[in-house]
Amino acid sequence: MNPKTELIPDDSHASTENTFDSIAHVSRRAFMTTAALAGAGVATLTATAQTREELLAGRQGDYASDAGPANQPLIDENPNSHMPPFTDHGNMGPIWYSFDLASRRVQNGGWTDQVTVRELPTSKSIAGVSMRLTANSIRELHWHTSDEWAIVLTGTTRITILQPDGKMYIDDVGPGDLWYFPAGFPHSLQGIGPQGTEFLLVFNDGAFSEADTFLISESLVHLPPEVIQKNMGWSRESFNMLPQTQLYIFEGIQPPSLEEQKRALGDKLETVNKYTYKLSEQRPDPVRAGGSVKIIDVDKFPVAKKLCAAQVTLKPGGMREVHWHPHSDEWQYYIHGKGRMTIATTGAAARTMDFSANDVGFVPIMATHYIENTGTEDLVFLEMLAAPHFIDVSMNAWIAGLPDNLATAHTKLPLNVIRSAPQTALTILPK
């Protein structure tokens, strides 16, 4: 089994065989410099001036004309933002951003960029970081105030994490697999093999910042040298040799094998708690004609107590059914393909946007939404929730469970039409 392609159902390998390798080469869409305006809530056309007949028929006549200046590549990238469906209404704030617009910090050894509440102001509960480590390069030993959930996109990452009881966990994680670090647990990351590694990090705090983590270099050099000597036994000469500035991401040397490093830990090796998870080996459930889903939450990954996910694959024309999450905002990361999403929330606000690889989507807690594959290849994306369990409510299942009188009273539809809809939650719908 090829772990790089496990994230795509077997019958779709031909079209998306190199999904995770391709992420490392997603071109930075220079033409999208102004796209943040679209994601940040540029006003959409509203239906307030239209009659009910015009609404039912959709926009007619000259509504779609646009004789002024236009950024055509941006319009082509997100046509549903430029000319939204007639059902869109109001302005709920931004629901889209792209890592291809984020400010990138580049160092010898790799780079990082992030989408936080500063880039996507509506996402106050979840933030994301994209990071690349070249061969043998290291993300400095550090810890932070938020839990960290991660998925490897390309290559192999060696992780270490120290528990408060002094036990150390160490493992290698490949494409499509996960790790999870609780807040305050110190850890490190290193790119293994000639390819290095690239991964997505997700945090249960929208205000998280990669520039504001606790680093071992800064912790040591800013302690008085006499304290260092008293605590560690290191001389003043040793203190003077410590890095005077943060390392953050830096080039390293090839480490010993994983088994050798585990043996060296002896009885300090943690073997009970598992901080990594082989999502690449998990079978999808459910599998439908329109696609498949892998749900990973605390029941499968016990250390992951504050973040969970669904990895969704949609066939062309397939759709993640209309639903909402009663206990968390949803933060999405698009891995492959093209799709669109409409969100409907309180106050009759509704917004439709298009999404491509390396984009982020955001859905407020309890807001109704769907995701549809609008491309010609599989659409693969993550639904992240800041919660231990993955829970959603299906619109179809709700309507199906309503007594006949309530269903007809609220939809104004004949009962036979109402009951022609799916009578249970399907999660994925076909074309």
336 labelled as ligand-binding? no
Q: Which neighbouring-strand residues pair with 131?
A: 112, 199
One DSSP character per residue, 398-419 reads HHHHS-HHHHHHHH---HHHHT
Q: Give the CB-side neighbour count of residue 225, counting CA atoms within 13 A.
A: 9
369: phi then psi, degrees, rounded to nearest 5: -160, 165
25 labelled as ligand-binding? no
Residue 392 CB contacts under 8 Å (≥ 6 apart), including other chains: 323, 324, 325, 326
Catalytic positions: 383
CA 55 to chain centre: 35
13 labelled as ligand-binding? no
Residue 113 to residues 28, 98, 162, 187, Cα–Cα distance (Å): 12, 10, 26, 19
Question: Residue 367: helix, strand or coil by DSSP?
Answer: coil
323 labelled as ligand-binding? yes
148 labelled as ligand-binding? yes
Locate 1 and state its tokens: 């089994």
Neighbours of 253 (CB within 10 A): 8
The rounded distance, in Å, linking the Cα atoms of 428 and 371 is 10
Locate 176 and state its tokens: 């499509």
Q: Specify whether the CB–CB gap between 304 and 387 falls below 8 A.
A: no
Q: Specify whether the CB–CB gap between 12 and 315 falls below 8 A.
A: yes
Residue 391 CB contacts under 8 Å (≥ 6 apart), including other chains: 325, 326, 327, 385
Query: What is the distance in angstroms between the CA of the first residue and the CA of the last residue of the chain?
Result: 28
The rounded distance, in Å, linking the Cα atoms of 359 and 185 is 29
369 labelled as ligand-binding? yes
DSSP state letter for 101: G
330 labelled as ligand-binding? yes
Q: Specify whether the CB–CB gap between 336 and 379 falls below 8 A.
A: yes
The rounded distance, in Å, linking the Cα atoms of 98 and 337 is 14
Please report, in range form, the residues annotated as the binding site for Mn(2+): 142, 144, 148, 187, 323, 325, 330, 369
